[in-house]
Structure 1
Amino acid sequence: MAAEYQIADGSLGGEPTVTVSAPDGSARAVLALRGATLLSWQVRRGAGGQLTELTDGYRDEAELLSQDGVRAGLLAPFPNRVADGRYRWSGRDHDLLPGRGGDRTIYHGFAREALFELVHAATKSDSAHLLLRTRRITPDRYPGYPFTLDLEVEYTVSGRELAIEIRATNVGDTTAPYAAGWHPYFTLSQPIDDLVLQIPAHTLIRTETSLIPLRGEDALLPLDHCPGMDFRTPRRLGDAVIDACFADLSPGPGGRAETVLSDPATGDELRVWQYGGYMHVFTGDTLARDRRASIALEPVETMTNAFNRPEHTTALSLEPGRQREFRFGVTYMSPGH
Structure 2
Amino acid sequence: MNRTDPSEYRIEGGGYTAVVLALGAAVRELTHDGRPLVVGFGAQEAMPNFRGAFVAPWPNRIEDGRYAFDGVTHELPVNEPERGTALHGLVFDVPWTLVEHTGSSVTLACTIEPVAAYPFEVALEVRFAVDAQGFRTSITATNAGSLRAPYGVCPHPYLVAGPSPLNDWVLELPAATVLTVTPDRLLPVAKEAVAGTPFDFRTAHALGDVQIDHAFTDLERDGAGRATVRVTDPIHGTGTAMVWDGSCPWVQIHTADLPLKPESTRLGLAVEPMTCPPDAFNTGEDLIVLDPGATHRTGWTISAL
Does the pair score TM above 0.5? yes
Inter-partner Cα distance in structure 2 for 1:102 and 1:332: 36
Cα displacement (A) at 1:60:
4.0
2:273 maps to 1:299? yes
- Per the alignment, residue 180 of structure 1 pairs with 153
Cα displacement (A) at 1:97:
2.6
- Per the alignment, residue 261 of structure 1 pairs with 231
Cα displacement (A) at 1:274:
1.2
- Per the alignment, residue 90 of structure 1 pairs with 70
Corresponding residue to 1:163 among 131, 136, 143: 136
* Rg comparison, structure with higher value: 1
Cα displacement (A) at 1:38:
0.7
Inter-partner Cα distance in structure 1 for 2:54 and 2:176: 25
Q: Is the 8 A contact 1:184 1:297 kept in 2?
A: yes
Amino acid at match of 2:233: D
Inter-partner Cα distance in structure 1 for 2:82 and 2:109: 35
Cα displacement (A) at 1:208:
1.6
Q: Is the 8 A contact 2:256 2:266 kept in 1?
A: yes
- Per the alignment, residue 213 of structure 1 pairs with 188
User: Equivalent residues in 2 for 1:29-68 (5 A)?
Assistant: 29-44=18-33, 51-64=34-47, 68=48
SS in 2 for 1:69: coil
2:123 maps to 1:150? yes
Q: TM-score, normalised by structure 1?
A: 0.83
Amino acid at match of 1:59: G
Cα displacement (A) at 1:9:
2.0
Inter-partner Cα distance in structure 2 for 1:27 and 1:311: 36
Listed as ranges, the gaps of 5+ residues in structure 2 are: none
Q: Is the 8 A contact 2:143 2:295 kept in 1?
A: yes
Cα displacement (A) at 1:271:
1.2
Corresponding residue to 2:97 among 111, 117, 126: 117
- Per the alignment, residue 191 of structure 1 pairs with 165
Corresponding residue to 1:231 among 182, 201, 211: 201
Cα displacement (A) at 1:272:
0.7
Q: Sort the Cα spacing of 1:294 and 1:310 in 2 relative to 1 into closer, same or farther, 3 A.
A: closer
Q: Where has structure 1 moved over 4 Å in runs of 4 or more? A: 100-103
Cα displacement (A) at 1:159:
3.4
2:4 maps to 1:9? yes
SS in 2 for 1:279: strand
Inter-partner Cα distance in structure 2 for 1:38 and 1:231: 27
- Per the alignment, residue 3 of structure 1 pairs with none
Q: Is the 8 A contact 2:164 2:236 kept in 1?
A: no
SS in 2 for 1:206: strand
Q: Is the 8 A contact 1:43 1:159 kept in 2?
A: no
Amino acid at match of 1:262: T
Q: Sort the Cα spacing of 1:91 and 1:19 in 2 relative to 1 into closer, same or farther, 3 A.
A: same
Amino acid at match of 1:138: E
SS in 2 for 1:324: strand
Q: Sort the Cα spacing of 1:237 and 1:129 in 2 relative to 1 into closer, same or farther, 3 A.
A: same
Cα displacement (A) at 1:10:
2.6
Cα displacement (A) at 1:148:
0.7
1:262-286 Cα distance to aligned partner (Å, 9 max, x none): 1111221211111122111111111
TM-align CA RMSD: 2.1
Inter-partner Cα distance in structure 1 for 2:214 and 2:126: 26
Inter-partner Cα distance in structure 2 for 1:281 and 1:235: 15
SS in 2 for 1:307: helix
Q: TM-score, normalised by structure 2?
A: 0.91
1:96-118 Cα distance to aligned partner (Å, 9 max, x none): 038x9986322110121121122
- Per the alignment, residue 59 of structure 2 pairs with 79
Q: Which moved more, 1:159-168 or 1:143-152?
A: 159-168
Q: How many residues align?
A: 297
Amino acid at match of 1:119: V
SS in 2 for 1:112: coil
Identity, % of aligned pairs? 30
Q: Sort the Cα spacing of 1:61 and 1:110 in 2 relative to 1 into closer, same or farther, 3 A.
A: farther
Q: Is the 8 A contact 1:10 1:19 kept in 2?
A: no
Inter-partner Cα distance in structure 2 for 1:147 and 1:80: 19
Inter-partner Cα distance in structure 2 for 1:117 and 1:242: 35
